[in-house]
Structure 1
Amino acid sequence: MSQPHDATPKGGMSDRTGRFVVQPNGRTTPLSPHMSVWRWHITMAASILFRATIIAGSFGFLFVVAWLASLASGAEAYQTFAGLASSPLGLLIGIGLTLVLFSFLLNGARHLINDMAVGLDLKSANLLSHIAVWGPIVLTVLFWIALFSTGRVSL
């Protein structure tokens, strides 16, 4: 496929933006559907956040491995890890991992529902996506409020 500057999109205007391409059959088509063509939608956000959740969970797994290694290394190593985990940075990591967990659970439930061919119409897909995007934030805040209010976690 070539991309000449004189490609003429529908409407007869010359394309100087480089957003159109001449196909081998001579037909001029848009180069690709991009953000300028598609409007942002909540289902797109849910999909992107689900992938980000998987990546963040992979890094969070390192935190779990460090915790298990400190348990296996003895009381002194565990005390060091516990001290780091209760620091402000450790609490931030814990809050982030809680957000990842809730996001993974709600997005996983959304995928499970969709895999059963339920909730595929526009209204249901939007509702499930809103739950998957905003639900983890609400659940994380409530979870950590409960932990702080019961005294299980403190600064």
Structure 2
Amino acid sequence: MADVEQGNRPLSPHLQIYKWPINMGMSIFHRVTGVAIGVVIAFVALWFFALAWSPEAFAKANWLMTSWLGWLVLFGGAVSLWFHFVNGLRHLVWDTGSSFGQKRVRRTALIGLVFMVILTLVTIWVAVAV
């Protein structure tokens, strides 16, 4: 029978010694951003519904969406949208059966993060400047 008393050995792999590969973080963040995009779309849809409902409802919704909390939600939506888009392009390339090497996966992840930051900054610049 197996030894039930294993002493003070940690479970393997333990969080203090296990280093997440970048691709694992990208995969988790891709799923999280998919959910975040849905939440942001719901908030924007409620903003438009309030516009169609009445001027008072729109005034309240507009106050919320143009407050610091609304801008934070919209900023998070922009980050989520661009990350999800860029990472989706990586998955599209992988569907062709290419770029599966360890170095290429890491390189495309870093390139994707750089493009996500650039696209988010351009989106914010266009939203504020125009």
TM-score (norm 2): 0.80
Higher Rg of the two aligned structures: 1
Tell me if the contact between 1:119 and 1:125 (Cα under 8 Å) persists in the aligned partners. yes
The 5-angstrom pairing of residues 72-87 of structure 1 reads: 72-87=52-67
Cα deviation code 1:79-117 (max 9, x no counterpart): 332232222221111111111110110111111111111
Amino acid at match of 1:81: A
How far apart are the structure 2 equivalents of 1:71 and 1:118?
A: 47
What's the C-alpha RMSD, in Å, of the aligned pairs?
2.5
Structure possessing the higher relative contact order (Cα contacts under 8 Å, 6 or more residues apart): 2
Q: Which deviates more from structure 2 when the two are superposed, residues 32-41 or residues 107-116?
A: 32-41
1:54 aligns with 2:34: yes
| Mapped pair 1:4 → 2:4 | yes
Distance 1:18 1:37, change over 3 A: closer
In structure 1, list runs of 5 or more residues that go unmatched: 7-14, 20-31
Gaps of 5+ in 2: none
Q: Distance in 2 between matches of 1:48 and 1:124?
A: 19
TM-score w.r.t. structure 1 length?
0.69
Tell me the alpha carbon deviations over residues 52-98 of structure 1, each in whole angstroms, 9 at most, x when there is no partner. Answer: 11222232232023123213303332233223222222111111111
May I ask how many residue pairs the two structures share in their alignment?
A: 130
